[in-house]
Amino acid sequence: MSASDRGLLATASVFILIGVLMLALNFVPGANLATLWPLALFVVSLGLLLPLLVWPTERKTLAAFFIPALVLFALGVIFLYDTLSGDWASWAFAWILIPTSVGAGLYLAARFGAWGSAAQKVGVWMALCGIALFALLGLLFGSAAVRIFISILLIVCGILILLPVWLSGKKETPAIKKKEAGKVKTIK
């Protein structure tokens, strides 16, 4: 299949997927487009990621698509939560997920687009700072459900951070170097 045919296939697939989604929602009892419209953001996000899958040889040049795809995905998550829960006050802290998704997209774009390690580091730091700020403000201003979710998320993140240490089975404490009168002494 030629590159232009793959592009047409990707574009047609996005249109078909949106059409099937909207058609299916008409046959689901109780489904309301007024509450499920954020699903379209997920489909558009997938549509932006599709060229990266369809044209693997062009992945470096198309890597920037990660950024808007992840922003639209984050907006889809925020709007879907708000429309289903009615918790529109969550925008007081949920907006932080937008620059967080930019950071995650920047990291992925830099990694797959070979933009260099500096761009990857900026993306990681943007994402990590955004997640930390989202967690802090969500714990302070979020609804009970949001506070429970973020608390569980923090516990899971802590376990994931410790998991490699637990799995390695090392019981040694790290060596600490102490400087005494010009001599370096290793303390265990």
pLDDT for position 166? 82
Position 184 confidence tier, pLDDT thresholds 50, 70, 90: low
Structure tokens at 32: 């309301």
pLDDT at 107: 95
Residue listed under structure tokens 């990707």: 10
Element (H, E) at 176: strand 176-180
Per-residue pLDDT for 175 more than 80? no
Lowest mean pLDDT among 53-57, 85-89, 135-139: 53-57
Percent of the chain residues past pLDDT 90, beyond the cut: 29
Average pLDDT, the chain: 83
Q: What angle do CA 162, 167, 172 make, to 5 degrees?
A: 80
CA 118, CA 122: separation in Å to the nearest integer?
6
pLDDT at 182: 62
pLDDT tens-digit profile of 116-128?
A: 999 999 999 999 8
**Identity of the residue numbered 16:** I
Task: Give the predicted TM-score (pTM) of the model.
Answer: 0.71
Dihedral sign (CA 132, 138, 139, 145):
negative
